């Protein structure tokens, strides 16, 4: 028996889980969670998009924002280095 995660046929919203020998219609074997840095986060009001569950998690959303800002800062630093001519030497 396998656990399947069911979603509404029309809205694709998560409606519960079921244990069954065969996969029911409108279900997936993927749980409605998201993994980030080897940690699992439960999603609020998850919706199945056909490939994965989407939904919000305040803690995870904050981590995503920090990651995006880190990438953006790296891009700005690289741009600044180009504008300044690369490495500079203190004299």
Give the tens place of pLDDT for each residue, 28-76: 999 999 888 888 989 999 999 999 999 988 887 777 778 888 888 999 8
CB 3 within 8 A of CB 19: yes
Q: What is d(CA 54, CA 30) in angstroms, rounded to the nearest whole number? A: 12
β-strand pairing of 33-36 with 44-48:
unpaired
Phi, psi torsion values for 24, nearest 5 degrees: -75, 160
- pLDDT the model gives residue 85: 77
């Amino acid at each position: 028996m396998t656990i399947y995660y069911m979603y509404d046929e029309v809205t694709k919203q998560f409606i519960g889980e079921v244990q069954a020998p065969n996969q029911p219609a409108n279900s997936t074997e993927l749980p409605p969670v998201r993994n980030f840095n080897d940690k699992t986060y439960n999603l609020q009001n998850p919706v199945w998009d056909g490939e994965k569950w989407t939904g919000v998690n305040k803690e995870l959303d904050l981590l995503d924002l920090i990651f995006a800002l880190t990438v953006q800062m790296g891009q700005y630093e690289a741009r600044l280095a180009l504008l300044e001519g690369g490495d500079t030497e203190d004299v």
